[in-house]
Structure 1
Amino acid sequence: MSVRLYLAGFFVATTSLFSFNAFAADNSTPIEIALFPPVQFPSPDFAVRGLRLSVVGQNREAHGLDLALIGNMTKQKFTGVAIAGLFNYNAVGADIIGLQLAGLANLNDVSSRLYGFQVGAYNRVGKVYGVQIGLVNSARELHGIQIGLINFNDAGPFKASPIINVGF
């Protein structure tokens, strides 16, 4: 019985090691656990393709489910669902595809593009192809709908509008 248990443990350990090596070849990982950068595994230079669980997490890319007590930060591209207690942040030129939900703010560089939904007290992104819902919504270009107390669309006929703003 104990030999079978050891063999099963060895099999699980080696197959796990080889599957993680496949992800490591392109600097990506299926899961990340983070307190705050750089106290996270793996490092912020990796892409997460699966699940990111953090207090504050930072990565090159994230694809999948992104859950943070305080905030999520991505440098290049985010695809999936990001839920954070306070903020989601994406750096210069990032593409955001999916849903960003934050207790306080979804902050994206003005050269970023959102394809999907943002829900938070304050939402900011360069180009919106979708929906922003919050107290204050801001976009350089709007190709969709903003719903909030005040909505900003730099490329629209009205730079600011209350309650609802539609752009095409």
Structure 2
Amino acid sequence: MASRYLPLIVAILITAPSFVSAQSLDIPIRGYGLSIGDSEEHVGLRINFRDRNLRSMRGVNITVWNPRNARSDVRGIAIGLPMTGAEDLRGIGLGLFGAGADGTIRGVAIGGVGAGAGESFTGIGLGGIGVGAGGDLKGIMVGGIGAGAGGSVKGIMISGIGAGAGGDMQGIAISGIGGGAGGSFRGLSVSGIASGAGVDLTGIHVAGVAAGAGNDAHGIIIGGIAAGAGGTLRGLGIAGVAVGAPEVRGILLSGLAAGGQDVSGIVLAPAYFLVDENGYQNGLAISAVNRVRGRQQGLTIGLLNIARDLRGVQIGLINYAGSNRAGMKLLPFFNTRFR
């Protein structure tokens, strides 16, 4: 039966796109069954060159190009040869080039180049180059180059270059270059170069070059060169060159140097450990040079140990305590509080 109408369908789509933009051929009745052209409302199978007047679609909508004025609510399957779109899409959107919506998407959108929504996107998105949403994003998003949202993200994002959120993010971000959030990030991130958050970072975050948070970091933070936080680092910080935060509560492991303002925990840094002026150290620090420009309440072990106010113990080749009485400030091998 369908083969009887095939020549008619092809003729209408190819030779009269302007005609189908304003009218439609509906079989068997208007609004139901098969619609060829720019019908406004339809249930069933609809075929059109480019949507201009579509308002509501329930079923399968096949178009050649993206809509001129996206005002439609499509529920079902939207197929674009090569692009498809709508104002709101609930269901599945497939496009050789792109699949998306000016408003919201709830479901699956797959585009050879890109897939996304101007507002929110909930579901699964796959884009050969990019996938994302101008607003919030929830679900699983995979983009060949980028994946992200202008708002918040809850779910999993994977991309070849960058993955992130302009707002907060909860979930997993895996990217070849950078991953993170402009707000807070709670979850797991793995990036080839950088991973972080503009506010708080919670969970496990690993980057080939640098990982950190503009405010507090809680969990495990690992950077190939640097790792840290602008506020408190609570947990484990590991870096190939430098790791630290103004306030540390946990463990710092560095291939070269580590430091902070107020440091409580364990610090292992082969070359240098620094506590800033008027700060304090409490716990254990092992480094070639341990310099506490504030109060030392814990144990430091190294070749050279320096403390402005020593209330703990220094073990090393040379040990200096600025707060000790004369004759006890500079001692070999061992020093502690001598007032």
* Alpha carbons 1:82, 1:99 under 8 Å: kept: yes
The residue that corresponds to 1:31 in the other structure is 60
Tell me, in whole angstroms, the C-alpha distance in 2 between the residues paired with 1:80 and 1:17: 24
2:184 matches 1:156: yes
Could you tell me the TM-score, scaled by structure 2's length? Answer: 0.38
Equivalent runs, 1:16-55 vs 2, <5 Å: 17=32, 27-29=55-57, 30-38=59-67, 44-54=70-80, 55=82
Q: Secondary structure of the residue that 1:34 maps to in structure 2?
A: strand
CA pair 88-22 structure 1, distance change in 2 beyond 3 A:
closer
Aligned residues: 147
Deviations 1:92-145 (A, max 9, x none): xx2211100111101421xx1111110012102021111101121021211111
* Alpha carbons 1:148, 1:162 under 8 Å: kept: no
Q: Provide the aligned C-alpha RMSD in A.
A: 3.2
CA pair 22-88 structure 1, distance change in 2 beyond 3 A:
closer
Q: Which amino acid aligns with 2:197?
A: K
Tell me, in whole angstroms, the C-alpha distance in 2 between the residues paired with 1:86 and 1:100: 12
Gaps of 5+ in 2: 1-26, 36-40, 44-53, 186-195, 199-205, 218-339
CA pair 52-22 structure 1, distance change in 2 beyond 3 A:
closer
The residue that corresponds to 2:141 in the other structure is 118
2:117 matches 1:90: yes
Taking only the aligned residue pairs, the percentage that are identical comes to 21
CA pair 130-78 structure 1, distance change in 2 beyond 3 A:
same
Tell me, in whole angstroms, the C-alpha distance in 2 between the residues paired with 1:82 and 1:38: 16
Quote the offset at 1:75 in angstroms: 1.4
Point out the more displaced range, 153-162 or 46-55: 153-162
Tell me, in whole angstroms, the C-alpha distance in 2 between the residues paired with 1:57 and 1:100: 14
Quote the offset at 1:78 in angstroms: 0.4
* Alpha carbons 1:137, 1:148 under 8 Å: kept: yes
Tell me, in whole angstroms, the C-alpha distance in 2 between the residues paired with 1:17 and 1:69: 27
Higher relative contact order (CA 8 A, sep 6+): 1
* Alpha carbons 1:90, 1:107 under 8 Å: kept: yes
2:173 matches 1:146: yes
Deviations 1:60-83 (A, max 9, x none): 111111110000121111011111
Q: Which amino acid aligns with 2:79?
A: L
Q: Which amino acid aligns with 1:47?
A: D
Could you tell me the TM-score, scaled by structure 1's length? Answer: 0.73
Tell me, in whole angstroms, the C-alpha distance in 2 between the residues paired with 1:88 and 1:52: 13
Q: Which amino acid aligns with 2:104?
A: K
Runs of 4+ in structure 1 displaced over 4 angstroms?
18-23
CA pair 68-19 structure 1, distance change in 2 beyond 3 A:
closer
Q: Secondary structure of the residue that 2:183 maps to in structure 1?
A: coil
Pick the aligned partner of 1:130 from 132, 155, 164: 155
Gaps of 5+ in 1: 1-11
Tell me, in whole angstroms, the C-alpha distance in 1 between the residues paired with 2:34 and 2:120: 28
Structure number with higher helix proportion: 1
Q: Which amino acid aligns with 1:37?
A: N
Larger Rg: 2
Tell me, in whole angstroms, the C-alpha distance in 2 between the residues paired with 1:119 and 1:45: 27
* Alpha carbons 1:153, 1:159 under 8 Å: kept: yes
* Alpha carbons 1:68, 1:83 under 8 Å: kept: yes
Q: Secondary structure of the residue that 2:184 maps to in structure 1?
A: coil
Quote the offset at 1:89 in angstroms: 2.7
Tell me, in whole angstroms, the C-alpha distance in 2 between the residues paired with 1:114 and 1:38: 23
Tell me, in whole angstroms, the C-alpha distance in 2 between the residues paired with 1:102 and 1:52: 16
